[in-house]
Structure 1
Amino acid sequence: MLSKSLSLESVKPGNTAGHKAHSPFWVIVSKEMADHIRSWRFIVLFLLIVLTFLASMYVSLGNLKQAVGNTTDPDHIFLYLKLLTATQNSMPPFHVFLSFLGPLLGISLGFDAVNAEKNNGTLIRLMAQPVYRDNLLLAKFVSTLIIVSTLFIALVLLMIGGGLLITGVRMEPQELLRILVFVAISILYVGFWLSLSILLSIGLKQAATSALTAIGIWLFFTVFYQVLVNLVVRTVLPDPDFLSSQQIARYNELILTLLRVSPSQLYTDATTTLLMPSVRSLGPVTMEQMAGAIPAPLPFRESLMIVWPQVSGLVASTVVCFAIGYYIFMRREIRS
Structure 2
Amino acid sequence: MNENNCYVNKNMISDKTMFSGKNAFPDKTTVSEENIFSDENPPYSGRKEQDYESPPDPFKSPPVKNRFQDSGDAGSGKGRNFSGKPSLKDRLNLRAAATIAGKDFADRLYEKNTIVLTFVFILTVFVYSQRGSTDYIQIIAVFFPLIGIALGYNAFVSERNDRSLNVLFGHPVFRDSLILGKFLAVAASLFCIVMLSFMIILASDFLNTGVIADPQMISRLLIFFIMTYLYLLVFASFSLFTSVILKDSISSFVAGAVLWILLCFAFGPLILVLSSIITGTSMFDAADPFFRVAERIADISPIHHYAQVTVGNLDLSYTAVNIMHDVNGFLDTRYTIDYLVSYYITDILYLLAVPAVFLTASYVAFIRKDIRSGGSHMTSGLHTKFNLQIIGLIAGKEFADCIRNPVFLLVAATFTIVVLSWTYVKGMEVGYRADFMGMSDIMRGFKGMAMIIGRFAPVLGIVAAFDTVIKEIRSGSMNVLMGHPVYRDNIIAGKLLGSAATVFLIIFVSVNMAAGCLLSASGMQMTSDQIIRLEIFVVLTFLYTFIFSGIAVLVSSAVSKPDTSLITDILIWLVLIVLFSQIAYTSFYMFTDDFLLAEKYSLLLLKLSPAHHYALISAGIPDVMKESFSYQPEIMGIFDTGHSLTEWAGAFSGNLIVLIAAVCIPSVLSFVIFLKKDITLTK
Quickly name the TM-score band, shorter chain normalised: 0.7 to 0.9
SS across alignment from 1:321: helix
TM-score (ref. length: structure 1): 0.75
1:43 counterpart residue number: 409
**Aligned pair 1:313/2:658, yes or no?**
yes
Report the Cα distance in structure 1 between the residues aligned to 2:641 and 2:677, rounded to whole angstroms: 56
Shift, 1:146, TM fit: 1.1
The question of whether the paired residues in 1 share the 8 Å contact of 2:584 and 2:605 is answered with yes
SS across alignment from 2:465: coil
Report the Cα distance in structure 2 between the residues aligned to 1:95 and 1:205, rounded to whole angstroms: 35
The question of whether the paired residues in 1 share the 8 Å contact of 2:427 and 2:522 is answered with no
**Aligned pair 1:219/2:574, yes or no?**
yes
**Aligned pair 1:256/2:618, yes or no?**
no
> Residues 122-176 of structure 1, C-alpha deviation per residue, up to 9 Å, x if partnerless?
1111122232211211111111221221222223443555667788865323312
SS across alignment from 2:680: coil
Give the counterpart letter for 1:335 in structure 2. T
Report the Cα distance in structure 1 between the residues aligned to 2:432 and 2:521, rounded to whole angstroms: 15
Which residue, out of 414, 417, 433, partners 1:67?
433
**Aligned pair 1:266/2:609, yes or no?**
no
1:89 counterpart residue number: none
The question of whether the paired residues in 2 share the 8 Å contact of 1:6 and 1:24 is answered with no
**Aligned pair 1:299/2:644, yes or no?**
yes
Larger deviation, residues 220-229 vs 178-187: 220-229
Q: Which structure has the greater CA radius of gyration?
A: 2
Report the Cα distance in structure 2 between the residues aligned to 1:335 and 1:162, rounded to whole angstroms: 49
1:257 to 1:70, Cα distance in 2 relative to 1, 3 A: farther
Give the counterpart letter for 2:475 in structure 1. N
Give the counterpart letter for 1:225 in structure 2. F
Give the counterpart letter for 1:240 in structure 2. D
1:229 counterpart residue number: 584
1:156 to 1:107, Cα distance in 2 relative to 1, 3 A: closer
Report the Cα distance in structure 2 between the residues aligned to 1:143 and 1:296, rounded to whole angstroms: 34
Larger deviation, residues 48-57 vs 212-221: 48-57
Which residue, out of 432, 436, 446, partners 1:84?
446
1:222 to 1:285, Cα distance in 2 relative to 1, 3 A: closer
1:277 counterpart residue number: none
1:71 to 1:298, Cα distance in 2 relative to 1, 3 A: farther
The percentage of aligned residue pairs carrying the same residue is 22
Shift, 1:305, TM fit: 2.8
The question of whether the paired residues in 2 share the 8 Å contact of 1:2 and 1:31 is answered with no
Shift, 1:188, TM fit: 0.8
Shift, 1:195, TM fit: 0.5
Give the counterpart letter for 1:184 in structure 2. V
1:199 to 1:71, Cα distance in 2 relative to 1, 3 A: same
SS across alignment from 2:380: coil
Shift, 1:272, TM fit: 0.7
Give the counterpart letter for 2:602 in structure 1. I
Report the Cα distance in structure 2 between the residues aligned to 1:296 and 1:121, rounded to whole angstroms: 53
> Residues 277-321 of structure 1, C-alpha deviation per residue, up to 9 Å, x if partnerless?
xxxxx98479xx9xxxxx992222223333332222221122111
Report the Cα distance in structure 2 between the residues aligned to 1:54 and 1:185, rounded to whole angstroms: 19
Which residue, out of 129, 135, 140, partners 2:490?
135
The question of whether the paired residues in 2 share the 8 Å contact of 1:6 and 1:129 is answered with no
The question of whether the paired residues in 2 share the 8 Å contact of 1:253 and 1:283 is answered with no
Report the Cα distance in structure 2 between the residues aligned to 1:108 and 1:296, rounded to whole angstroms: 34
Q: Which runs of 5+ in 2 are unaligned?
A: 1-378, 622-628, 635-639
**Aligned pair 1:25/2:372, yes or no?**
no
1:332 to 1:297, Cα distance in 2 relative to 1, 3 A: same
Report the Cα distance in structure 1 between the residues aligned to 2:420 and 2:517, rounded to whole angstroms: 11
The question of whether the paired residues in 1 share the 8 Å contact of 2:423 and 2:518 is answered with no
SS across alignment from 2:497: helix
1:155 counterpart residue number: 510
Report the Cα distance in structure 1 between the residues aligned to 2:641 and 2:519, rounded to whole angstroms: 25
More helix by share: 1
> Residues 61-94 of structure 1, C-alpha deviation per residue, up to 9 Å, x if partnerless?
3233233357775xx34x3x34424xxxxxxx33
SS across alignment from 1:109: helix
Shift, 1:257, TM fit: 1.6
The question of whether the paired residues in 2 share the 8 Å contact of 1:25 and 1:136 is answered with yes
Report the Cα distance in structure 1 between the residues aligned to 2:512 and 2:586, rounded to whole angstroms: 43
Report the Cα distance in structure 1 between the residues aligned to 2:503 and 2:646, rounded to whole angstroms: 26
2:259 counterpart residue number: none
Give the counterpart letter for 2:611 in structure 1. S
1:328 counterpart residue number: 673
Report the Cα distance in structure 2 between the residues aligned to 1:155 and 1:197, rounded to whole angstroms: 21
1:2 counterpart residue number: 380
Q: Which runs of 5+ in 1 are unaligned?
A: 12-22, 86-92, 242-247, 275-281, 290-294
The question of whether the paired residues in 1 share the 8 Å contact of 2:464 and 2:502 is answered with no
**Aligned pair 1:240/2:594, yes or no?**
yes
The question of whether the paired residues in 2 share the 8 Å contact of 1:174 and 1:300 is answered with no
Q: Where do 1:90-129 residues align within 5 Å?
A: 93-129=448-484
1:88 counterpart residue number: none
TM-score (ref. length: structure 2): 0.39
Give the counterpart letter for 2:608 in structure 1. V
Report the Cα distance in structure 1 between the residues aligned to 2:641 and 2:383, rounded to whole angstroms: 59
SS across alignment from 1:63: helix
Shift, 1:228, TM fit: 3.4
Give the counterpart letter for 2:656 in structure 1. V
Q: Structure with the greater relative contact order (CA < 8 A, sep ≥ 6): 1 or 2?
A: 1
1:235 to 1:299, Cα distance in 2 relative to 1, 3 A: same
> Residues 29-66 of structure 1, C-alpha deviation per residue, up to 9 Å, x if partnerless?
22111211121211111211221232123223323323
1:128 to 1:5, Cα distance in 2 relative to 1, 3 A: farther
CA RMSD across the alignment = 3.2
